[in-house]
Structure 1
Amino acid sequence: MPAVTRRQDWLFASLREYSPAWLSGDLIAAMTLAAIAIPEQLATARLAGMPPMSGLFAFAAGTFAFAAFGGNRFVSVGADSTIAPIIAGALVALAVPGAVQYASMAATLALLVGIVLLLARILRAGWIADLLSIPVITGFLAGISIHIIVGQLPSFMGIDAIHGNLMERFADVVGRARHFRGYTLAIGIGVLVLSQAAERWNPRIPGALIGLVLAALAVRLFALDKHGVAVLGALPIGPPALTLGLPNWDDITQLLPGALIVALVCMIQTAVVMRTYPSDPDGNEDVTRDFAGVGAGCILAAFFGAFAVNASPPRTAIVKAAGGRSQLSGLFAVAIVAAVVLVASGTFKYVPEAALSGVLIFIAIRLFRGALMRQIYRKSEWEFLIVAASAALVVFLPIETGVTLSIVLSLLHSVYVIARPDITELERVPGTTIWWALPKDHAREYEPGVLVVAPSAPIYFVNASYLREKLMERIATKEEACRYLIIEAHGVIDIDFTGSEMLQKLITELRGRGVDVAIARMSSERALAAAQRSGLIDTLGEDHLFRSVEEAIRNRPT
């Protein structure tokens, strides 16, 4: 019995305590999800350089695996437009899209991504999902959006595509735009407009699917394929060939950097989706369990001959809005998709490539978060520059390089905030014992010869010299000679060896000059433990460590 209980703890957790009353909501959500997923998954497979049907296999694999191993009841997993261009960028230098080797390496990449995500679950590495800031993610998605749009313009307009970097391809499209095919462009625009209109009217309306069906009917009724409209042609119908072999070491070393990037994006997006649509708003969900669900989906997709999968914010929103209550909605959706493919397989061969390009451009427009960019700009011009820089890196460099440097940019931004922290001078609020950073026009009280400063960062090797320089500068520029320095340490959450050494030398130096030093409000247990272990408290003196600034004032040396 204990073994069964342990198994139930991790297998199909989202279906635990399923209520029959949820069934109607799950069925309605499943029909809506299937209608949204069919065109989206076909188009996203094309974006990854894979056969269209592999997108549906990816959806089936991701949905089943997440239902089995994930934790969230609403998350929809499948082929994803955010990671598809990264997958294509990682593979195109190693194999030709459409070739057997390309599909094999896509499956190997999916396997590696899945392994990385499972390791993140084992190591409880949920913190990795917080490595990218919102400005960097916004810029990164904008860059991906531009890549998708430029990449789809040739088939959207009915002109030949060329190989090259994004700017070369864009220049070629502009140069040959006058050679567009009218029927092709009309179909692409029609599907795009219909998808956009349905999204604005009611996101639950499957505008993209309606557009694909109407486009396919137009091709069949008016023989548009005889007038230059390129179509998908006959699609292979049937179960996928489970042919993934053991990857060789060369493949692993070539694909591992791309796999790490894709896995990081998957972790970030999965965490965002889970936090936006939690199973229990009052609960404390484990994001690493959802990492495991997506990772298992990637591994199963690899054996299905598909490619890496990811959590989808729009599809998850659709499930929640349509009344879905569990992962059963996704499993029902897979069954509906399979039935549609089997029953309407003849219709798929008439689907125009321009229609899929219209769907992808619609998806790309959703990725370009203009409203959020304006919000970031109003709040912080500096962070808007980070948005622009992140987008530029993805646009002007090879996509996997741009994504990598966007991640580095996010980390540098975080480090800069710590490396150059604010050091605020505090004054007493008149008639109280409160010491605060008061506005210039606010009344305040001073203590003669006392300087109270509050660093707003951990004291690490990256800022130790800067903090020392700024502290000495404040002491030197104080109008009245400073005889007592109080470091208000509430914002100091940690101290490393270099930071401790700097503080100990500073204390010794200042006391040699007749300036006593005290520390107040060191409330972080981590910082206090580090100060004790490193000898900082011994140098400072236990009698110079206080619970408040006012207590330090009352015990100032005479």
Structure 2
Amino acid sequence: MRILPGLTLRNAGRETLAGVTLLAIAVPLNIGYAQIAGLPPTAGLYALVVPAIAYALIVSSRQLVASPDAAAAALVASSLGGLAVAGSADYLTLAFAQAIICGVIFVLCAVFRLGFLASFLSKPILVGFVGGLALDILVSQTAKMLGVTIDSGGEFVEKVVDLVTGLPTLNIWAVLISFASIAVLVVGRRLARAVPWALIVLVLSTVLVVTTGLEAAGVAVLGPVDAGPPTLTWPVLEWSTWLQLVPSAIALAMVTMAEGLLVARSYGEKRGYRTSPDRDLLAFGAANVAAGATGGFTVGSSTSRTAAMDQAGSRTQLPSIVTAVGTLALVIFGTALLEHIPSPAIGAIVAVAIVPLLGIRDFVSLWRLQRVEFAVGAVCFLGALLLGPIAGIVLAFVLALINLAGRAATPAVDILGADDAPGSSLLPETAPGAVTAPGVVVLRFAAPLFFANASVFEDAVRKAVTSAPPGQVRHLVIDLEAVTDVDVTGSEGLESARRWLGDHDVALHYSRLRPDLRRQLAHYGLLDGVEVFGTNRAAIDALSAPGRAQDAAAAD
């Protein structure tokens, strides 16, 4: 088994070149994301070293790039802002601890095989939540591009007010650098996507600031960056403080899980290799523990960088390791090169990167396809924007539960009509009071039978009998092919329906019963005295045969 699946001597050169490209993309973005999170640039750079290597060696996905991203940075800033002053030593310690807790959550999810939770947050919920975070970040980066000072740790409304009231103080040189940077990034991407335009923007803007003295004209720069390799450390905090970080760590883990596993699976299907969600969760766990223990901050998944590597022809995790090595050399020998990078250029790079996260196209598509889903996404968008990320993720889960319960509580219930073709194929019957065959009604319940829809099932059974002319229904067949599970409340509903049918001289039968469901029904005692048919056609032929009703009555 190879250490890096998919890596061969034939593609090693291409993968290494892709790693250089990833390095050029990741360094400026991670510096910007660290600033969003209220952390020093080294926190973003250190997250590219040991965490990236740990992730690359464990993950099943050959292409997903793990790194701090815009959503994670915003969550870190909003969740830690009330506990310590951004940029302080205490704030940095809290960020390390948060990453470690997040890593432990990922490991626990992997051990207990909870990768299925990635599917719990629907697309509208994820689009709305991430879009709200992206807009909040965009306001901060706009202020940076204009040279306006705002409280980056404040609420969204406060940031907007600070930005608007600070417009008279904007720096024209910062504005020109920002606009030029955006133009290079946007136009350059259209001309040649493989070129590291973000790195070119940083180099050119830095040269401009240094050679023209624009720093003295009020253009903000990155400033001194601590040199040296990442070192092992452990955040020392009170237990109560650790506990305060758990909710935000859960939110970070869930957002990363929902997006990361989905992207990993999609690229695996696209490129023809298998992925393991639980192994990927373990990789995220190792990466985040490594980040907290080596001076980085929470590591998520980068959809944009993964797409860039896919376009560059990369099919292995070697680019992440090349990036780790290159970043390590940078923090040891080249931090002086970062000191004069203009903040407006960093803001432009981050802004261009996060604009797709606003989800404008997704919202337009949701509006066109399903207005209810659009409303769910809009509520999550406003929740993340106005209530904050933690409250936003809670709101997202509540909406997911409501949506799930609503769909499960109102399953499709059909009275089926007999098909002339042989077999068990049946046609939906819409006429009120219709019967499937003389004396027989076949009812299909298209959902697991559990507490949320047990009463719906009972009502459907009664309506199927009472809506028909009196005495026309002697047998009710329940098609159980779509019923995959029955809980205690569902079993009580089925037993209640059976008693009601008995009181009305209607015999209950089952058809197309799954083996696992048969065991459940037997356990609940719901097979006693009930005839089971393999197909609906067999049930119709047997129960509608002449004399069957009289024979059944005589047997009673």
User: TM-score surpassing 0.5?
Assistant: yes
In the TM superposition, what is the alpha-carbon distance from 1:16 to its structure 2 partner?
5.3
Residue segments in structure 2 that go unaligned for 5+ positions in a row:
550-556
Are 1:221 and 2:211 counterparts?
yes
Query: Which residue pairs with 2:159 in the alignment?
Result: 169
Distance 1:258 1:504 in 2: 45
Confirm or deny: 8 A CA contact 2:509 2:532 kept in the other structure. yes
Distance 2:293 2:29 in 1: 21
Query: Which residue pairs with 2:32 in the alignment?
Result: 43
- Secondary structure, in 3 states, of the residue corresponding to 2:353? helix
Q: Which stretch of the first structure deviates more once superposed, 160-169 or 527-536?
A: 160-169
Mapping of 1:19-168 within 5 angstroms?
Answer: 19-162=8-151, 164-168=154-158
Decide which of 251, 254, 257 is 1:261's aligned counterpart: 251
Residue segments in structure 1 that go unaligned for 5+ positions in a row:
1-8
Task: For residues 115-139 of structure 1, give each alpha carbon's deviation from its aligned partner in whole angstroms, at most 9, with x where no partner exists.
Answer: 1111122222221222111121111
Are 1:475 and 2:475 counterparts?
no
In the TM superposition, what is the alpha-carbon distance from 1:321 to its structure 2 partner?
2.2
Confirm or deny: 8 A CA contact 2:149 2:166 kept in the other structure. no
Decide which of 478, 486, 495 is 2:486's aligned counterpart: 495
Confirm or deny: 8 A CA contact 1:266 1:310 kept in the other structure. yes
- Secondary structure, in 3 states, of the residue corresponding to 1:225? coil
Task: For residues 59-82 of structure 1, give each alpha carbon's deviation from its aligned partner in whole angstroms, at most 9, with x where no partner exists.
Answer: 112211112322222222111212
Decide which of 412, 416, 431 is 1:422's aligned counterpart: 412
Confirm or deny: 8 A CA contact 1:90 1:400 kept in the other structure. yes
Are 1:505 and 2:535 counterparts?
no
In the TM superposition, what is the alpha-carbon distance from 1:271 to its structure 2 partner?
0.8
Confirm or deny: 8 A CA contact 1:450 1:483 kept in the other structure. yes
In the TM superposition, what is the alpha-carbon distance from 1:14 to its structure 2 partner?
4.4
Query: Which residue pairs with 1:5 in the alignment?
Result: none
Paired AA for residue 514 in structure 1: D
- Secondary structure, in 3 states, of the residue corresponding to 1:83? helix
- Secondary structure, in 3 states, of the residue corresponding to 1:462? coil
- Secondary structure, in 3 states, of the residue corresponding to 1:517? strand
Distance 2:243 2:199 in 1: 39
Query: Which residue pairs with 2:524 in the alignment?
Result: 534
Q: 1:406/1:196 Cα in 2 relative to 1: closer, same or farther (>3 Å)?
A: farther
In the TM superposition, what is the alpha-carbon distance from 1:17 to its structure 2 partner?
7.4
Query: Which residue pairs with 1:455 in the alignment?
Result: 445
Distance 1:455 1:422 in 2: 6
Query: Which residue pairs with 1:407 in the alignment?
Result: 397
Query: Which residue pairs with 1:308 in the alignment?
Result: 298
Query: Which residue pairs with 1:486 in the alignment?
Result: 477
Q: Which stretch of the first structure deviates more once superposed, 455-464 or 508-517?
A: 508-517
Confirm or deny: 8 A CA contact 1:427 1:435 kept in the other structure. no
Paired AA for residue 37 in structure 1: A
Q: Give the CA RMSD over aligned residues.
A: 2.4
Task: For residues 212-269 of structure 1, give each alpha carbon's deviation from its aligned partner in whole angstroms, at most 9, with x where no partner exists.
Answer: 2222122112211111211111211212343324443112110011111111222222
Task: For residues 155-213 of structure 1, give each alpha carbon's deviation from its aligned partner in whole angstroms, at most 9, with x where no partner exists.
Answer: 22211213532123213323433432211122223223332333344432222222222
In the TM superposition, what is the alpha-carbon distance from 1:445 to its structure 2 partner?
9.1
Mapping of 1:182-193 within 5 angstroms?
Answer: 182-193=172-183
Distance 1:343 1:166 in 2: 38
Mapping of 1:373-384 within 5 angstroms?
Answer: 373-384=363-374
- Secondary structure, in 3 states, of the residue corresponding to 1:143? helix
Aligned-pair identity in percent equals 27
In the TM superposition, what is the alpha-carbon distance from 1:537 to its structure 2 partner?
1.2
- Secondary structure, in 3 states, of the residue corresponding to 1:82? helix
Decide which of 520, 530, 534 is 1:547's aligned counterpart: 534
Query: Which residue pairs with 1:4 in the alignment?
Result: none
Q: 1:334/1:428 Cα in 2 relative to 1: closer, same or farther (>3 Å)?
A: same
Distance 2:447 2:193 in 1: 44
In the TM superposition, what is the alpha-carbon distance from 1:438 to its structure 2 partner?
4.0
In the TM superposition, what is the alpha-carbon distance from 1:502 to its structure 2 partner?
0.8
Q: 1:436/1:281 Cα in 2 relative to 1: closer, same or farther (>3 Å)?
A: farther
In the TM superposition, what is the alpha-carbon distance from 1:501 to its structure 2 partner?
0.9
Confirm or deny: 8 A CA contact 2:50 2:291 kept in the other structure. yes
Provide the aligned length of Structure 1 versus Structure 2.
541
Distance 1:247 1:146 in 2: 33
Confirm or deny: 8 A CA contact 1:14 1:73 kept in the other structure. no
